Structure 1
């Protein structure tokens, strides 16, 4: 698969850092054991199971009900938790104030670590500060790449949405697009706004933001359909999540439009849509990896004092383009529900 990576500024940190640290830690445990214990340690390492004290980690996201993107985040987190002997407590709410309350609940439970998204950073600042004062390490992922350091998070795992948006805009230029609508399904979400801003910055044609209520898919469909009927010059619908791309395909059909659909993010059905040509391309930020690394990072910090990026650099998990030419390479993972 052509996993083309775009040049990064100083923020780029190789994803292998966390994996390498885990491997070194496992190797250190094995080498210090003798005889039968060494064999047992090797067997344990081969099985991918940590022989460390039980931890409790809270993962708190801004996921909206029914958004399959977050299923991938959660699966990655669960895989890391199973490997690391971690009790994972997952909770989510798209309302920023409620999400902050969920962080407070985790603090009250005395968890050993918190992984959190900062889709609306200002609303989360107080809760994150309380966790730090309680001595609980906090890592960020998926949303808040411009704010995690200011809030004192230990690490960050995700995609630089500005970079991803600009890459998307350049891709539209290559395809000869002239006019797109960028569909934002949650107003005020910093990562979504950054994506559309990046598209607009690099796209040589016209970009219009279209705000929809992402928790009401029939409304999303009707709003996009109405916009396409109103303006036949729109040749691309840009969505910021797989479910919205699939709904946009229906909107294009209902409107009798010739517009193409392209999107950020993947799920199983979206991969099939790219394969069939219903969706032109997608940008993959690897949500499974974000969930996995966030939980694994807390285990590494607790058990070996490791943290990626020196507290200064984000660990980037995307973007990478998925097109009809390379989609078969990841289809097998999508079938398992991990891409």
Structure 2
């Protein structure tokens, strides 16, 4: 027990230290969130300390010439299946459109070699900027280095690329995992049998697994009785079939207390298996959130009771804004983690909720001001239809 507690505390200390260092240096040039009464005064004070092109705020700010034109952006995705991915894509397209640009989506269908080929295609086409979603450094580093050498900026999401000049954003996977697992432990009073759904080879899942392993050390009375998982073109269905096999192995009520499914496609599949088996005493704890996920969670007697998440559309928006900052010649951080939220069904109202409504019920949901320069309001206003 003491060993497990020490390990968990060490991991969490490292997480907190990393999060502290993951704030972009450019934020020092941005006004902090203030009340309406003091915003004007603080804006005036900040203007005295900034360069001429950053002295005006909002729609009056001068737009850098490099971004004041239709830019061509390439988004290289390892996969685009699932509702999280679809809402992420919508977020990319919406933010680029607001800036007057165009984004081409390249889907590698879980094939890293194809992902590398797509990256090379984007470089050869001379795009203005590249966004990378998932993938692995071993497959993409060479292409990323070539893009940077040719002056094409790169911003990544949820992968392990660490090339100089790249900004890497993430959902803070350590906090996501801990937020959900802490709720799971509280709900079963630190004791019981759980199932773990997981697949290696994906950076966010591997980061979440670090916390899960520390969690098991910290709670020795919580036992993992089954582990499975794979990511495919139909992850939810695969997870459902695999969970059905586990339920047949443990048919007695009370033999399984909870499932930790740190990806919403995992969570959807196991939830359906539990419902069809009539085993609603088993609770599901997931990661990620979408409109479809909310419908499943809010259904009557749904086993899926908790998830930790960020808004996928806003994740995409932050990624695009960092890319445009790079194109504009602004300083951007090497790493940036968005703050996740824990969403419990008990915190939501009885009526159906959509992603657009979550912020009304979950404090701290979303981060619309992240990576936002003063001129971005002006650029969006100029391109508004």
Question: Which band: TM-score by shorter chain?
Answer: 0.7 to 0.9
| Aligned equivalent of 1:183, options 188, 197, 204 | 197
- More displaced 10-residue stretch of structure 1: 188-197 or 84-93: 188-197
Partner of 1:302: 327
Using the alignment, how far apart are the partners of 2:259 and 2:154 within structure 1? 36
Partner of 1:206: 223
Query: How far is 1:304 from its partner?
Result: 4.1
Report if the CA contact (8 A) 1:271-1:327 is conserved.
no
| Aligned equivalent of 2:184, options 172, 179, 182 | 172
Query: How far is 1:195 from its partner?
Result: 1.6
- More displaced 10-residue stretch of structure 1: 278-287 or 268-277: 268-277
The SS at the match of 1:272 is: helix
- More displaced 10-residue stretch of structure 1: 281-290 or 165-174: 165-174
- Alpha carbon RMSD of aligned pairs, Å? 3.6
Q: TM-score, normalised by structure 2?
A: 0.70
| Aligned equivalent of 1:266, options 279, 289, 294 | 289
- More displaced 10-residue stretch of structure 1: 271-280 or 89-98: 271-280
- Rate the CA distance shift 1:330–1:250 in 2: closer, same or farther, 3 A: closer
Partner of 2:170: 158
Using the alignment, how far apart are the partners of 1:30 and 1:194 within structure 2? 37
Moved over 6 A (4+): 22-25
Using the alignment, how far apart are the partners of 1:130 and 1:51 within structure 2? 22
The structure having more radius of gyration, on CA atoms, is 2
Query: How far is 1:170 from its partner?
Result: 2.1
Query: How far is 1:189 from its partner?
Result: 1.5
| Aligned equivalent of 2:343, options 297, 322, 325 | 322
| Aligned equivalent of 1:87, options 79, 102, 120 | 102
Using the alignment, how far apart are the partners of 1:19 and 1:102 within structure 2? 36
- More displaced 10-residue stretch of structure 1: 235-244 or 76-85: 235-244
- Rate the CA distance shift 1:44–1:127 in 2: closer, same or farther, 3 A: closer
1:241 corresponds to 2:263: yes
State the Cα deviation string for residues 37-65 of structure 1 (Å, max 9, x = none). x99x64999xxxx9712211111111243
Using the alignment, how far apart are the partners of 1:259 and 1:187 within structure 2? 25
Partner of 1:76: 91
Query: How far is 1:181 from its partner?
Result: 1.7
Q: TM-score, normalised by structure 1?
A: 0.79
Number of residues of Structure 1 aligned to a counterpart in Structure 2? 314
The SS at the match of 1:331 is: coil
| Aligned equivalent of 1:140, options 140, 150, 156 | 156
Partner of 2:17: 9
Unaligned ranges ≥5, structure 1: 1-5, 33-37
Using the alignment, how far apart are the partners of 1:273 and 1:315 within structure 2? 31
Using the alignment, how far apart are the partners of 2:52 and 2:294 within structure 1? 40
Unaligned ranges ≥5, structure 2: 1-12, 32-42, 359-364, 367-385
- Rate the CA distance shift 1:264–1:198 in 2: closer, same or farther, 3 A: same
- Rate the CA distance shift 1:225–1:125 in 2: closer, same or farther, 3 A: same
- Rate the CA distance shift 1:250–1:14 in 2: closer, same or farther, 3 A: same
